[in-house]
Amino acid sequence: NAGVMQNPRHLVRRRGQEARLRCSPMKGHSHVYWYRQLPEEGLKFMVYLQKENIIDESGMPKERFSAEFPKEGPSILRIQQVVRGDSAAYFCASSLDLQETQYFGPGTRLLVL
């Protein structure tokens, strides 16, 4: 049973480009969460999605960031017009239900030059 998959593992973008991060949850999991980790810090919640619905996006910056979890396919975190401050590790987690254990993917390390 594969765990949470994320790709790419590393992503390099120049300022102004777009970054697309993908997350495939564990089999059977319909709850997906995105977190951001800055160097030397803990993870900060960004957005919580269920299939085709954004449930909680209270941690998501209001501009340039968006997330989706379509009926078919992985969840996508999209960052438009990236800036150097977007450089971080972005983790995706999934769970069977909201009250259940979250399982994390390996993360995508984004570097903005």
- CB of 78: closest distance to another protein in angstroms? 21
18 to 77, contacts with another protein by CB under 8 A? 33, 35, 41-45, 48, 56
- Residue number, 14 or 58, with CB nearest to another protein: 58
> Given 3-state DSSP classes, what are the helix, strand and coil percentages for the chain, each rounded to the nearest 5?
5, 50, 50
CA 111/CA 101 separation, integer angstroms: 29
Binding residue for another protein, selected from 30, 64, 103, 111, defined by CB under 8 A: 103
CA 74/CA 99 separation, integer angstroms: 22
- CB of 16: closest distance to another protein in angstroms? 27
CA 100/CA 79 separation, integer angstroms: 28
- CB of 102: closest distance to another protein in angstroms? 7
Residue numbers of the site for another protein (CB under 8 A)? 33, 35, 41-45, 48, 56, 89, 91, 98-99, 101-104, 106-107, 109
